[in-house]
Structure 1
Amino acid sequence: MPKQRITKEMVVNAAYEIARNSGMEQVMVKNIADKIGCSVQPIYSYCKNMEGLRQDVIGQVRHFIQEYVAAHIDEKDLFRSTGRAYIQLAKEEPHLFRIFILHQRKGISSLDDLYQTEANPRAAGFIAEELHISIPEAKQLHLNMLIYTIGIGTIFSVTTPGISTDEIYAQQEAAYEVFLKQALRTNEQ
């Protein structure tokens, strides 16, 4: 039987599947080799260090999440449905959600830096137009909801047997109403 040629893509895909099913802490050379069905040697030839491989996995996670959220949003209620999509993601893919939320973000020294890095650059304009508020208030509302959704999504992804999605959505909606009132009040001043 001829030897199987192991490629970097196979290594990264195996590492991604391990992370998706068991968490990033299980992405180890031996586990990757077992998943592919090879010795550890080919893994070491592609992975000079595990940090580089983990960054490749994080790239795949980010891509998956972008596609997931895009497929789960309601264009008629974009802002709310995006938040709900992240909560649904936390329920369906808790390991990927935690990897996405908890990976290190370099060069972030303020919440504004985080917002600029993580948010769609057109989001504040869209929110401002939809809710008839200024761009700065829309940006603050969006940032508040990002922070809140990340927090409640993280709680949701680490609890067992699990909090109901209805309870999470109700809490998310209550937070939205409070943040929206604050934005409208600020907008009127």
Structure 2
Amino acid sequence: MAPKQKITKEMILEATFHITREHGYENVNARSLASMLGCSTQPIFSRFASMEELKKVFHAYAGKYFDRYAAEAMQGGDSFRKLGECYINFARNESNLFRLLFMSEVMDLHGFADMYDDPENLEVAQTLSSTMGISFDSAKRFYMKMFIFTHGIAAMLASKFVHLEPGEAETMLGEAQRAFAAQHTT
């Protein structure tokens, strides 16, 4: 008799990634994971106390995937602009992962103040303040306007609300960046 395969957390997360990427997180459940892994649901619940716990762990796991995706896409040039373009392309090319990461309740933000106070966002604002020669508060407002604009385009692409020609979103992003920058540098 062949030994049973030991199902690890990593295997469960990889299966969750595959199902989410192909079919959306809404199709991830204990049965779909067990089917993909070729096991019963017992190993899943022996590694994760609940599907809610799995979702939180998987959100961080998928976030690391986005971080690697962004780091690769942002090589050379204006990193702020490239980040916006990367965000839009991620929504276009990885719509199910984008929806989980950036259009779900997992983040549980309560208004823009939570976004302003996020350490990564504060770091971006500090860099923008230095590179643009504007106050830190102006840089935070500029960054939030750019994020809201960029997220709007990305959300429309991820949800298939709109289809844009290659380069169209990037052109719009550049126009918005110039317009928002002009509001904060005059």
Verify same fold: TM over 0.5.
Answer: yes
Once the 2 structures are TM-superposed, how far is the Cα of residue 160 of structure 1 from its aligned partner? 6.9
Percent identity between matched residues is: 30
1:174 aligns to 2:175 (yes or no): yes
Once the 2 structures are TM-superposed, how far is the Cα of residue 129 of structure 1 from its aligned partner? 2.1
1:70 match: 71
Question: Distance between the aligned counterparts of 1:118 and 1:68, measured in 2?
Answer: 20
Once the 2 structures are TM-superposed, how far is the Cα of residue 75 of structure 1 from its aligned partner? 4.1
1:30 match: 31
Q: Once structures 1 and 2 are overlaid, which stretch shifts more, 82-91 or 67-76?
A: 67-76
2:164 match: 163
How many pairs align?
184
Once the 2 structures are TM-superposed, how far is the Cα of residue 89 of structure 1 from its aligned partner? 1.0
1:17 match: 18
Question: Distance between the aligned counterparts of 2:137 and 2:38, measured in 1?
Answer: 53
Question: Structure 2 length normalisation: TM-score?
Answer: 0.90
1:73-97 deviations in Å (ceiling 9; x for gaps): 1443111111011111112211111
Once the 2 structures are TM-superposed, how far is the Cα of residue 162 of structure 1 from its aligned partner? 2.8
Structure 2: unaligned runs, 5 residues or longer: none
Question: Distance between the aligned counterparts of 2:134 and 2:48, measured in 1?
Answer: 49
Question: Distance between the aligned counterparts of 2:119 and 2:17, measured in 1?
Answer: 21
Question: Distance between the aligned counterparts of 1:56 and 1:136, measured in 2?
Answer: 33
- Which structure 2 residues correspond to residues 124-135 of structure 1 after superposition, within 5 A? 124-135=125-136
Question: Distance between the aligned counterparts of 1:133 and 1:102, measured in 2?
Answer: 31
Pair 52,87 (structure 1): closer, same or farther in 2 beyond 3 Å: same
Pair 160,134 (structure 1): closer, same or farther in 2 beyond 3 Å: closer
- Contact 2:156 2:162 (C-alpha < 8 Å) held by counterparts: no
Pair 9,33 (structure 1): closer, same or farther in 2 beyond 3 Å: same
1:4-48 deviations in Å (ceiling 9; x for gaps): 111222112211221122111011111101111112222232232
2:52 match: 51
Structure 1: unaligned runs, 5 residues or longer: none
SS in 1 for 2:3: coil
SS in 1 for 2:5: coil
Equivalent position amino acid for 2:67 in 1: Q
Pair 5,71 (structure 1): closer, same or farther in 2 beyond 3 Å: same
1:113 aligns to 2:134 (yes or no): no
Question: Structure 1 length normalisation: TM-score?
Answer: 0.88
1:139 aligns to 2:140 (yes or no): yes
Q: Once structures 1 and 2 are overlaid, which stretch shifts more, 87-96 or 129-138?
A: 129-138
Question: Distance between the aligned counterparts of 1:79 and 1:63, measured in 2?
Answer: 19
Question: Distance between the aligned counterparts of 1:13 and 1:183, measured in 2?
Answer: 44
1:122 match: 123
Equivalent position amino acid for 1:184 in 2: T
SS in 2 for 1:121: helix
Q: Once structures 1 and 2 are overlaid, which stretch shifts more, 150-159 or 45-54?
A: 45-54
Equivalent position amino acid for 1:37 in 2: G
Once the 2 structures are TM-superposed, how far is the Cα of residue 142 of structure 1 from its aligned partner? 0.7
